[in-house]
């Protein structure tokens, strides 16, 4: 009976975690929470309305927001970028002290082919503030949050801690650069990118932004 | 081995329940099942197309149906109403003998802020029938189904039984009134409202409607 | 402690399988993966834009793709066909050696009524290739993959193996014929149809198509 109670408890806890966006961690990049894709490298293939992207390279493609939405374990719910390297730049819903990022690809068991998964990645962050006139920022402002390798043998959503969260500045924008993928020469698919952390209290924020 | 078998059984059962809309209970307010938001108090903020609401207060906002759809543990999949009190009026897919209602807010672990959750609530019901010319009904027709407090420390979907289900009339319309929320002075978010019960047999229905 | 470890392991595995489209099996009919409904018998009721179907019986209804998308345990996320018998013809994302098909209806615990579930079914397959000018094919080209009865007492997603997978030709199109349903005289609802199998290597494909 004690074992039954124990088993039931962890089952309920695990299902609750699963129901809470799979990880049970707040995501400041989530589209429905206010996250926005600001820029990205060249999209792949006949993505709907890609003409608008070609004529305005500083604007994100309409489908790019797929990267900031749950995939529900469905193949194809991703945004494809051309080639085996590229980048994605995301404005968070609010400024945070970043603690971790999660990169998600489609689950192994339902995927047709996972050669388009990103491999070597680095994520940087900075405080963009309201200055949206020039979305291209000084690289000196960028702070390296983490470098990692997405591993096809691990679970589909992989979380990587910020290297030195104590030292991290408050950021409202992050950029994922992938320098390789898992074999596709034509494109790399980003299923979902999440950014975790905590909101600084307003007083310290004022000081930082002034 | 017996323990393994037992553990596997409850796991399968719990996952099945989770897969069945989280609760495994029929929802007569579900949008994809024919439920409709008929009226609501003033929406909050720059909701898309809110102009149409302002010019026609007896019509529901296009986004209001979000309250009758699954949220999948995603912040933002709600309909925001102005202030800390307000109401929502819902036409069910069919007339039922109501047994319980479920109010759902976003899960604690993925929420940015839960001060917009409703707190003190009461749910009433009545039989509106085909008379849609005047969506504002006589309060004397309304039957109190349940009064409750949404508790931020409990699971995100909270089910409340109808006070006296035996005495309840057959209803096809329900109204949720919230008189307070969990701290936000600007708005209250309704993630999802479900209505459970059983369909009366057709003979008894005829008698009631005539 | 050993029991705890064991329990935790199977819970994680079962949740992973649930998160991977419920079954953890690749679906070559999935809409987001490139599957398409090519033809179907007469749709039921006031489906949006059904006029276009009536004037062009060789084209699928815009809503027909619902049959190739996850339902997330939600009633109504199906495509309704007129009567108690009918068919659906699907072009797979790519040519495969078919191994199984899964027919899914809404879960018992959240359904209003399951009399519209298909009952006696047969699934055939063939290689259509690029010849889309005549979507109606010679019946002699069709290969019977499986015959089955959808059982309302079993789990909502039911998988049936191909009768003789070794003997099966490579197929890129399948057709579900249902000859009865679970009681509704007006319509039959298809929630989701999945097709499982393996991709032949390209060399053997070339030989088959030439
Ligand atoms: K996605
Ligand atoms: K919702
Ligand atoms: K579906």
The answer, for C172 touching chain A at a CB cutoff of 8 Å, is no
Do A94 and A49 touch, CB atoms closer than 8 A? no
Angle (CA) A104-A35-A177 rounded to 5° is 50
Do B7 and A5 touch, CB atoms closer than 8 A? no
Ligand in closest contact with the CA of A69: 1
Do C139 and C118 touch, CB atoms closer than 8 A? no
Mean pLDDT of the A13-19 span: 92
Ligand in closest contact with the CA of A190: 1
Residue B71 alpha carbon to ligand 2 centre in Å: 4
Flag whether pLDDT at B192 surpasses 60: yes
Of C85, C87, C53, residue with least CA distance to C67: C87
pLDDT at C6: 81
Reported confidence tier of residue B10, pLDDT bands at 50, 70, 90: confident
pLDDT tens per residue, range A111-161: 999 999 999 999 999 999 876 555 556 666 889 999 999 999 999 999 999
Residue B104 alpha carbon to ligand 1 centre in Å: 24
Contact: C74, B7; criterion CB under 8 Å: no
Residue A83 structure tokens: 């080639």
ipTM of this predicted structure: 0.88
Contact: B6, A7; criterion CB under 8 Å: yes
d(Cα C79, Cα C66) in Å, to the nearest integer?
6
pLDDT at A50: 47
> What phi, psi does B145 have (nearest 5°)?
-90, -45
Reported confidence tier of residue A193, pLDDT bands at 50, 70, 90: very high
Flag whether pLDDT at B210 surpasses 50: no
The answer, for C32 touching chain A at a CB cutoff of 8 Å, is yes
Contact: A11, B6; criterion CB under 8 Å: no
Report pTM.
0.90
Reported confidence tier of residue B50, pLDDT bands at 50, 70, 90: very low
Q: 3-state SS of A12-76?
A: HHHHHHHHCCCCCCCCCCCHHHCCEEEEECCECCCCCCCHHHHHCCCCCCHHHHHHHCCCCCCCC
Top pLDDT among C170 and B141 is at C170
Element (H, E) at A205: helix A202-209
Contact: C107, B25; criterion CB under 8 Å: no
Do B87 and B95 touch, CB atoms closer than 8 A? no
Contact: A77, C32; criterion CB under 8 Å: yes
* Cβ-count burial A170-185 (b if 16+ within 10 Å, e if not): bbbbbbbbbeebbebe
The number of C-beta contacts closer than 8 angstroms across A and B is 60
List the single residue in B with minimal CA-CA distance to C110. B26
Q: Report the residue from C22, C76, C112 with minimal CB separation from B26.
A: C112
Residue B176 structure tokens: 């949720």
pLDDT at C52: 54
Share of chain A above pLDDT 90, in %: 72
- Among A133-142, A146-155, B4-13, C64-73, the range scoring the smallest mean pLDDT is A133-142
What residue has token string 């402002």? Answer: A141
Do B90 and B35 touch, CB atoms closer than 8 A? yes
Question: Residues C62, B22, A110, A23: what is their CA dihedral angle, to the nearest 10 degrees?
Answer: 120
Residue C185 structure tokens: 């005289």
């Amino acid at each position: 009976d004690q074992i039954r109670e124990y088993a039931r408890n962890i089952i309920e806890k695990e299902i609750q975690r699963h129901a809470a966006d799979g990880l049970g961690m707040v995501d400041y990049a989530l589209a429905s929470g206010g996250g926005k894709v600001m820029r990205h490298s060249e999209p792949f293939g006949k993505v709907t309305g890609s003409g608008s992207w070609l004529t305005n390279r500083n604007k994100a493609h309409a489908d790019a927001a797929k990267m900031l939405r749950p995939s529900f374990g469905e193949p194809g719910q991703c945004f494809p970028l051309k080639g085996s390297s590229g980048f994605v730049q995301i404005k968070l819903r609010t400024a945070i002290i970043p603690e971790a990022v999660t990169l998600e690809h489609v689950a192994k068991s339902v995927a047709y082919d996972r050669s388009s998964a990103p491999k070597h990645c680095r994520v940087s962050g900075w405080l963009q503030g309201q200055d949206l006139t020039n979305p291209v920022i000084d690289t000196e402002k960028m702070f390296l949050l983490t470098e990692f390798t997405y591993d096809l043998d691990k679970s589909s959503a992989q979380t990587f801690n910020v290297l030195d969260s104590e030292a991290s500045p408050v950021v409202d924008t992050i950029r994922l650069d992938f320098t390789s993928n898992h074999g596709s020469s034509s494109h790399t698919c980003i299923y979902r990118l999440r950014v975790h952390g905590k909101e600084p209290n307003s007083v310290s924020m004022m000081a930082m932004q002034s």
